[in-house]
């Protein structure tokens, strides 16, 4: 089930319906908090914004690092935080005990699939290799036309600039097309993030069966 890349990225002919109200967002972020206090502030502000807007957080289910910060902020704001955590990580990552809902899954693959399926769009905050893996997975699913949900890298500090540079390098070296840059959006603020989501075309592809 292929998707026209321009339509999938929202840059083609604007005949699409705009995004329906967003009920849930998947958030990928670090199980560490990073060195710069602004990362923690960003996660906290995102959590509060989700709660204020009545958007459920779908995330990895831990209480450590930025993952814990965003979940705590959602809960403190009266919002819903849903954790999807694999059995073998439930102890190691110190599973959050006060979530609205925790779903324990058998594997990392099922976790990524479940998080994606429950969300209307995906947001990326600063993080490590796990965050990178989760991000690239949904970006490549989108490249393959398996979905067209919006993916927003929320990056006020420029943390993810090396990833943008790497994609540019791949394009320059002939390993990716320019359309690769339209598979995800980089937002420099939370306001820009929510404005982008509000203006995004409604996803038209929801095939889960073909994903690995």
In the complex, the residues that contact ligand AMP under the rule CB under 6 A are 30-32, 60, 62, 89, 93, 108, 111-112, 127-131, 133-134
Nearer to ligand AMP, 108 or 179 (CB): 108
Report the alpha-carbon distance of residue 12 to residue 56 in Å, rounded: 29
Would you say 38 or 177 has its CB closer to ligand AMP? 38
| Closest separation in Å from C-beta 110 to ligand AMP | 10
Q: What is the separation of C-alpha 49 from the centre of its chain, rounded to a whole number of angstroms?
A: 15
Please say which residue, 66 or 75, places its beta carbon nearer to ligand AMP: 66
By the 8 A CB rule, do 124 and 178 touch? no
Nearest approach in angstroms of CB 18 to ligand AMP is: 30
Give whichever of 12 and 157 is closer to ligand AMP, judged by the CB atom: 157
Question: Closest separation between CB of residue 61 and ligand AMP, Å?
Answer: 8
Q: How many residues make up the chain in this entry?
A: 212
Considering beta carbons, is residue 184 or 194 the nearer one to ligand AMP?
184
CA separation for the pair 177, 106 (Å, rounded): 36
The dihedral sign for the CA sequence 116, 109, 6, 3: negative
In the DSSP assignment, the letter for residue 18 is B
| Smallest distance, ligand AMP to C-beta of residue 195, A | 26
CB of 183 to ligand AMP, least distance (A): 19
85/102 Cα distance (integer angstroms): 7
The residue among 79 and 127 lying less far from ligand AMP, judged by its C-beta, is: 127
Question: Interior CA angle at 159 toward 155 and 161, to 5°?
Answer: 90
The residue with its CB nearest to ligand AMP is 130
DSSP-assigned letter for residue 82: E
CA-wise closest residue to 120 among 138, 140, 98, 99: 138
Closest approach of ligand AMP to the CB of residue 143, in Å: 18
């Amino acid at each position: 089930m292929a998707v026209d890349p321009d339509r999938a990225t929202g840059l083609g002919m604007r005949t699409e319906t705009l995004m329906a109200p967003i009920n849930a967002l998947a958030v990928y972020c670090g199980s560490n908090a990073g060195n710069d206090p602004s990362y923690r502030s960003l996660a906290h502000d995102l959590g509060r914004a989700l709660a204020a807007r009545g958007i459920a957080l779908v995330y990895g289910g831990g209480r450590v690092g930025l993952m814990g910060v965003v979940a705590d902020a959602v809960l403190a704001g009266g919002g819903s935080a849903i954790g999807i955590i694999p059995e073998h990580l439930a102890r190691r990552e110190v599973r959050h005990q006060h979530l609205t809902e925790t779903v324990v899954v058998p594997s990392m693959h099922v976790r990524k699939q479940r998080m994606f399926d429950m969300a209307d769009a995906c947001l990326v905050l600063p993080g490590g290799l796990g965050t990178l893996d989760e991000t690239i997975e949904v970006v490549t699913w989108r490249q393959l036309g398996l979905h067209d949900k919006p993916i927003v890298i929320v990056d006020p500090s420029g943390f993810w600039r090396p990833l943008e540079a790497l994609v540019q390098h791949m394009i320059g070296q002939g390993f990716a097309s320019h359309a690769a840059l339209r598979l995800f959006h980089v937002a420099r603020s939370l306001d820009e993030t929510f404005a982008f989501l509000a203006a995004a075309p409604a996803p038209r592809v929801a095939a889960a069966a073909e994903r690995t």
